[in-house]
Amino acid sequence: MREGNFIDYVKLHVTSGKGGKGSMHLHREKYIEKGGPDGGDGGRGGHVIIRGNENLWTLHEFTFKRHIKAGHGEHGSKQRSTGADGEDIYIDVPLGTVIRDTETEETIDEVVSHEQEIVIAPGGKGGRGNWHFKSSTNQTPRYAQPGLEGEERDITLELKVLADVGLVGFPNAGKSTLLSVITAAKPKIANYEFTTLKPNLGIVKYRDYRSFVVADIPGIIEGAAEGKGLGYRFLRHIERNSTLLFLVPCDVESIEGQYEILLDELRRYNPELLDKDRVLAISKSDMLDEELKAELEKEVAKAFKKIPYVFISSVAQQGLQELKDTLWEVLNKDPLHKA
């Protein structure tokens, strides 16, 4: 998916370096007629290494750089001198990047911590010099090992944003507005569907200098499984959220109906998402008068007995502190007492 400089999916062709050749040098000196073999080993080829970088947010760097090669090892030389190792190449990626083999689609590893290093293509081993092969029956070996070839492979990098809370809702439900109000994030906001085309992260400042991270993703519509709207591709960004915040406007025909549609789309994408904690926020509640709100609260309380819910209005700044309190409580509850 691409929006501006935000890239969350790239394919790369990586090649590690070839090992250097071992030397076949024979020691020759003015007063030493038969010094024997003294050829050194070749240096190993350079590794291709993926490294986590907490300061990165996108895979944009690889938009026009898809082929990555490490340096070759240098050859061995006289006096048993080992050749220099090839230059290692580091690929810095954001935390939350999943590495897959493009051909087999097998997951190789995941980058989850700063400066975590994963050797994705090890360099070829350097060949041994001729002094290794000297023996009583072969005192002047005139051969050495060639260096081993490097590894060549195609990999896929897939970014999954790391956040505590993931916002889930239909397009134009008010997710971006909520994010802009409770955090310092500046997502695109407009009065039409699919204004959000990339994930947005924001840090919610809570009581006593505590905080948690909220991720806003593009809206889901019914039939996303069949490719309607923006499909499922962006849902990878809420796979690592511990809590899902469902946002449903109060003016819809059925809050429970809208919630069940969203839940069903998540189930069809990845059933494991249903194991996460959930909180429901009924947005745009400033449009309700006291009588309508009381009636709607009864319906919501009856339909959502096991899920915490909060009536909010991002524009009117209503219910936002209660929402923060609810999210903080859910995020920090004792897992042993999880309902």
Residue numbers in the known binding site are 169-176, 194-198, 216-219, 283-286, 313-315
Do residues 301 and 253 lie in contact, with contact meaning Cβ atoms separated by under 8 Å?
A: no
**Which tokens belong to 121?**
């293509």
* Pairwise CA distance, residues 226 & 127, whole Å: 54
Could you tell me the strand order of the sheet in which 243-249 lies? 200-205, 211-216, 165-169, 243-249, 277-283, 309-311
Do residues 121 and 154 lie in contact, with contact meaning Cβ atoms separated by under 8 Å?
A: no
* Pairwise CA distance, residues 293 & 285, whole Å: 8
DSSP-based helix, strand, coil % in the chain, nearest 5 = 25, 25, 50
Q: What is the torsional sign of CA 311, 314, 316, 320?
A: positive
**Which tokens belong to 108?**
């190789």
Q: Are strands 117-121 and 67-69 parallel, antiparallel or unpaired?
A: unpaired
DSSP state letter for 177: H
Bridge partners of 200, per DSSP, are 216
Annotated binding site for Mg(2+): 176, 196
Annotated binding site for GTP: 169-176, 194-198, 216-219, 283-286, 313-315
Q: Are strands 211-216 and 243-249 parallel, antiparallel or unpaired?
A: unpaired
Residue type, 95: L
Among 221, 285, 299, 195, residue whose Cα is nearest residue 249: 285
The SS3 assignment for 191 reads coil
Do residues 274 and 280 lie in contact, with contact meaning Cβ atoms separated by under 8 Å?
A: no
Do residues 332 and 299 lie in contact, with contact meaning Cβ atoms separated by under 8 Å?
A: no
The SS3 assignment for 82 reads coil
